[in-house]
Amino acid sequence: MIEPHDKGFASKLEPETRGIFRTLVRAHIIFGIVGFVVGLVLYVVLYSVGVRLITSTPIAGALAILFFATIFGLMFGGFVALRPDHDVIITSVPEAVDAGIGRSLPIP
């Protein structure tokens, strides 16, 4: 419970900062690998279908597809780990604690 003018409210809001960092790293690693694998599958499909752009320059095509697929996977990992539902609470609680509002804080 966070009381008005509470000095230690940050540790009550996010008690496990190491856990958050571990979740961020794990999400980026997992989705980066997933993006790489999806890019590899996409490259194999495009190469086997005979897309001229891929078959004429197979190494450049593979590098481009794998690069962008991995980057999109990493960005999706960041999106998953972002937790936008925490943003409302984390931004409104310090203002309410400083103002002494207490329990009347509307939390969506």
* DSSP assignment of the chain: -PPTT-TTHHHHHSS-HHHHHHHHHHHHHHHHHHHHHHHHHHHHHHHHHT-HHHHHSHHHHHHHHHHHHHHHHHHHHHHHHH-THHHHHHHHHHHHHHHT-GGG----
Is the model's pLDDT at 49 over the cut of 70? Answer: yes
| Sequence ranges of the domains in the chain | 20-91
80 vs 28, residue with greater confidence: 28
Residue-level pLDDT at 105: 46
Is the model's pLDDT at 104 over the cut of 60? Answer: no
